[in-house]
Amino acid sequence: MFRYLLIVRFALINVVSAGLLAGVYLQGWLDAVIKGDLIELSLVIVAVFSYGFLYCALRIGQTSGELDEIRNTDPGTGTPALTYLEKVRFTHDRESLRGVLRMRLGRRIAAVRHIANSLVFLGLIGTVIGFIIALSGVDPNRAADADNVAEMVATLISGMSVALNTTLVGAVLYVWLIVNYRLLASGTVDLLTETIERGDGG
């Protein structure tokens, strides 16, 4: 069976995603985001995404290695799956061991989902900040004066730019990270299934 299949899928998904992002950048469609007001909010979202992406990449590598070890070799020790295989030989209470294995593997990948969800919330916080900026410049008492209208419109546009840019950055990076999470979750389910099958057959 082909080794490192999970890593190959992960690499393929992210090469395509990075290629799409590069194409969007070269078309100039990201200029509004890069040159927008309060770019720091978007940079915070990118930093959180980067952390989640690296964490997911490490877990993909770990899960892929364990899958290969379960499928192709005589398992060693140390990982949750291999610990399960060691213990299952000496107990009749396999259902409890399966529950523990599910929890350990599930807890290992849950952080990626939480980080992905936080990207959406950070985008929404940016949206709220943008609306606050936009509305802070609106003063009905000054609207009758033509000299003040231009300043109010500029503040309104600036606030809307912040709101839309942070929402866009948060949503796009959420989708990118959640696709990787789904791949990791699928690999984890495969690892769980094959570990239990091997334990039951052993």
Read off the pLDDT of residues 128-187 as tens digits, 9 standing for 90 and up.
Answer: 998 888 888 777 676 666 677 777 778 888 888 888 999 999 999 999 999 999 999 999
Instruction: Indicate whether 77 pLDDT > 70.
Output: no
Position 85 confidence tier, pLDDT thresholds 50, 70, 90:
low
Smallest Cα–Cα separation from 134: which of 105, 154, 109?
Answer: 154
Listed range (19-23, 43-47, 79-83, 131-135) with the worst mean pLDDT: 79-83
Position 11 confidence tier, pLDDT thresholds 50, 70, 90:
very high
State phi, psi for 38 to the nearest 5 degrees: 50, 50
| Prediction pTM value | 0.86
What are 103-134's pLDDT values in tens digits? 888 999 999 999 999 999 999 999 999 888 88
Instruction: Indicate whether 51 pLDDT > 80.
Output: yes
Type of residue at 115: I
Percent of the chain with pLDDT over 90: 46
Spatial contact of 72 and 4, defined as CB atoms under 8 Å apart: no
Is the model more confident about 6 or about 36?
6
Sorted by sequence, the CB contacts under 8 Å of residue 84 that are 6+ apart come out as 97, 98, 100, 101, 195, 196, 199
Is the model more confident about 32 or about 52?
52
Quote the pLDDT of residue 193.
Answer: 87
- The beta-carbon contacts of 45-49 under 8 Å, at least 24 apart in sequence, are 45/119, 45/122, 45/123, 45/126, 45/166, 45/169, 45/170, 45/173, 46/169, 46/173, 48/115, 48/118, 48/119, 48/122, 49/115, 49/119, 49/173, 49/176, 49/177
Residue 97: CB atoms within 10 A of its CB come to: 17
